């Protein structure tokens, strides 16, 4: 039975301590990091206080949510360089308050025009994953600068040069190293030392950066200044483009390291031919609300949407915690089964997006779920074009590995515009290769492709191809009410766990009545059509695990899944910004004018 969301979505109580803060300009001293802020004039939430402050600075100067989102993203390229930057790509979801509509940009990286399905094979065998990652072979044409410029041209009110100023200043003057930055550097230290330019930048004086020290990146400041003067096209044509091509095709390796970085085959034509795709979002109706996200090449919108449709006829608000988690896990399992079979770059693959998001198809899959039993993974995909009720026959498609880096930001302005933006360089540290003299790491995004077909019996829509976008799980999401006004916007990093993190956070907030910050902080479970479900310690060490195991679930521990951020519309023009309370050292929520 369909149930309208009759809860007080805009006035949900905030059970966590709310600390509303303003923002000093980034780079002018330590900025306090808090997970919740409430107030007027707009809001920004990200994983980093300096980055959120950059967005707030732009809002205070009259910029809109798009301007603030680009400013925040550019600052994250400074303070979160292992997760995002101009060497990567992402997906931009925008709500326009005037037209009450959602629009999206696909800024995903692309494979070289010379690539084919054997990009990651030698003599018919897939090359080792670790060898592919730290190589030129893994680098796709970056999409982030083009995304920034197109978003600003379409919906922004400021120039690229204007919104890059806070990040340029932050790169020049430096930011304070925290435990997370040092830990991520330490995790990459071995491979960073393969590449002299990377080691020089991120291992100052040959050592790990010291917590509390100031980290400066003057090369990146100059790169931002060049983009500010010349526009994003400077990365796709000219000297900077030539530097990227040379770095990919002849990775600058330290000869004494013994590392043999495989060369890529990126050309000037690949860069100059790159285009951001402006496309319609996915839309799912969930308990009377409109849930909007990214269509393929991302699998985020279709997979989150299908899972919500599977859950549509279940009243999760009345379910016990065990019943809720069981249903959520099983819906994720089934949606991932269909993701693996059907979703790839629609420029190359016939992706049945509309059918995957139909309620008719979801109902044909939902009947597989039993309250007293667990589906055996891997579950076989269904056929969305010809749904067969409760059909579990067929051969399963695997879940492609995706790095768990990436970052997400959300922004809103005083006019009611909202941005949900997920960007990445793939796994933490990307390819490990820094463009000499330019201050940024290149992505390893092409490792999101399947290296080789998993089974001759199942078509794999995610094999490499010329100019093809690898399948992503990024799920920047905006939820609208019946009047097409925003309820909440959110997203997360985390590779394939992005999908489950967004799904769990949405159901926690919309169905279970959790305040947004609590829905973000709740311990997570991630099922991706595997034999076991990953659990964070808060669930793995709880009595709920044994109760779920009694039904038939199997689990393995994962210390940390995702790092979400979100914004929520409140009455009287107020916004609530929310971020992580602990994951990745906690996130940073800010508003322009804090409420009393």
Strand-pair partners of 107: 90
Say if residue 407 is exposed, middle or buried (CB neighbours under 10 Å; 0-12, 13-18, 19+): buried
Give residues with Cβ within 8 angstroms of 82, minimum separation 6. 184, 185, 188, 405, 425, 428, 429, 430, 441
Rounded distance between C-alpha atoms, residue 134 and residue 50, angstroms: 29
Nearest by Cα to 347 from 91, 104, 108, 88: 108
> Which tokens in the block code for residue 517?
């910050």
**Cβ atoms of residues 524 and 545 within 8 Å:** no
CB atoms within 10 A of CB 256: 9
> Which tokens in the block code for residue 563?
């790092």
Look at residue 456 and give its three-state secondary structure: coil
**Cβ atoms of residues 90 and 443 within 8 Å:** no
> Which tokens in the block code for residue 444?
């390893």
Rounded distance between C-alpha atoms, residue 424 and residue 542, angstroms: 33
* Of 147, 282, 406, 507, catalytic: 406
> Which tokens in the block code for residue 17?
């301590």
**Cβ atoms of residues 83 and 443 within 8 Å:** no
Nearest by Cα to 142 from 104, 93, 89, 215: 89
Strand-pair partners of 122: 125
> Which tokens in the block code for residue 108?
């995903």
DSSP secondary structure letters along 90-136:
EEEEEEETTTTEEEEEEE--B--TT--TTTTEETTEEPPHHHHHTSG
**Cβ atoms of residues 305 and 293 within 8 Å:** yes
HEC profile of 215-276:
ECCHHHHHHHHHHHHHCCHHHHCCHHHHHHHHHHHCCCCCHHHCCCCCCCCCCHHHHHCCCC
Give residues with Cβ within 8 angstroms of 450, minimum separation 6. 398, 400, 460, 462, 463
Is residue 410 part of the annotated active site? The answer reads no
Buried-exposed string 520-537: b where 16+ CB fall within 10 A, e elsewhere: bbbebbbbbbbeebbbbe
DSSP secondary structure letters along 411-449:
EEETTS-EEEEEEE-SSTTTTSPBPTTT--BPP-GGGGS
Query: How would you classify residue 478: left for phi > 0, otherwise alpha for psi between -120 and 50, otherwise beta?
Result: beta
Rounded distance between C-alpha atoms, residue 156 and residue 55, angstroms: 13
**Cβ atoms of residues 418 and 224 within 8 Å:** no
Q: With the C-alpha atoms ordered 39, 41, 42, 46, is the resulting torsion angle positive or negative?
A: negative
Buried-exposed string 28-42: b where 16+ CB fall within 10 A, e elsewhere: eeebebbbbbbbbbb
Indicate which residues carry an active-site annotation: 406
């Amino acid at each position: 039975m369909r149930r309208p969301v009759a809860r007080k979505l805009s006035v949900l109580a905030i059970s966590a301590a709310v600390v509303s803060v303003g923002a000093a300009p980034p780079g002018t001293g330590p900025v306090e990091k808090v997970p919740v802020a409430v107030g007027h004039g707009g809001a920004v939430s990200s994983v980093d206080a300096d980055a959120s402050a950059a967005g707030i600075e732009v809002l205070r100067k009259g910029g809109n949510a798009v301007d603030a989102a680009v400013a925040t993203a550019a600052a994250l390229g400074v303070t979160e360089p292992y997760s995002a930057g101009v060497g990567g790509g992402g997906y931009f979801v925008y709500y326009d308050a005037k037209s009450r509509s959602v629009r999206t940009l696909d800024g995903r990286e692309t494979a070289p025009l010379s690539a084919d399905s054997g990009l990651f094979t030698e003599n018919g065998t897939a090359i080792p994953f670790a060898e592919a990652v730290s190589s030129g072979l893994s680098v796709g044409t970056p999409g982030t600068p083009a995304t920034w410029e197109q978003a600003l041209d379409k919906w922004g009110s400021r120039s690229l040069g204007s919104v890059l100023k806070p990040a340029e200043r932050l790169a020049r003057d430096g930011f304070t190293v925290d435990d997370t930055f040092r830990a991520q550097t330490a995790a990459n230290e071995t491979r960073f030392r393969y590449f002299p330019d990377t080691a020089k930048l991120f291992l100052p004086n040959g050592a790990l950066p010291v917590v509390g020290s100031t980290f400066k990146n003057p090369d990146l400041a100059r790169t931002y200044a060049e983009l500010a003067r010349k526009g994003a096209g400077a990365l796709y044509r000219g000297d900077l483009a030539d530097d990227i091509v040379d770095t990919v095709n002849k990775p600058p390796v330290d000869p004494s390291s013994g590392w043999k970085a495989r060369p890529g085959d990126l050309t000037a034509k690949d860069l100059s031919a790159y285009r951001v795709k402006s496309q319609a979002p996915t839309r799912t109706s969930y308990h009377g609300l409109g849930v909007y996200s990214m269509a393929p090449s991302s699998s985020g919108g279709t997979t989150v949407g299908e899972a919500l449709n599977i859950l549509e006829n279940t009243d999760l608000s009345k379910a016990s915690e065990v019943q809720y988690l069981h249903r959520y896990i099983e819906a994720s399992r089934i949606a991932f089964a269909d993701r693996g079979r059907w979703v790839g770059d629609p420029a190359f693959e016939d992706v049945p997006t509309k059918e995957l998001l139909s309620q008719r198809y979801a109902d044909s899959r939902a009947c597989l779920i039993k309250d007293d039993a667990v589906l055996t993974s891997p579950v076989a995909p269904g056929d969305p074009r010809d749904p067969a009720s409760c059909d579990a026959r067929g051969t399963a498609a695997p879940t492609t590995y995706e790095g768990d880096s990436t970052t997400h930001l959300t922004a809103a302005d005083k006019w009611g515009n909202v941005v949900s933006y997920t960007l990445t360089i793939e796994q933490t540290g990307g390819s490990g290769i820094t463009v000499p003299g330019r201050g940024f790491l290149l992505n390893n995004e092409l490792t999101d492709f399947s290296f080789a077909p998993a089974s001759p019996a199942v078509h794999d829509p995610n094999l490499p191809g010329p100019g093809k976008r690898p399948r992503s799980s990024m799920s920047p999401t905006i939820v609208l009410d019946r009047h097409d006004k925003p309820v909440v916007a959110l997203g997360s990093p985390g590779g394939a766990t992005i999908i489950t993190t967004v799904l769990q956070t949405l159901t926690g907030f919309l169905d279970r009545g959790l305040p947004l910050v609590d829905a973000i902080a709740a311990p997570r479970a991630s099922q991706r059509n595997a034999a076991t479900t990953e659990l964070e310690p808060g669930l793995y060490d709880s009595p709920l695990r044994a109760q779920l195991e009694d039904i038939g679930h199997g689990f393995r521990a994962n210390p940390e899944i995702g790092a979400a951020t979100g914004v929520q519309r409140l009455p009287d023009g107020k916004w609530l910004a929310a971020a992580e309370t602990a994951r990745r050292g906690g996130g940073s929520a800010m508003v322009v004018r804090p409420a009393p």
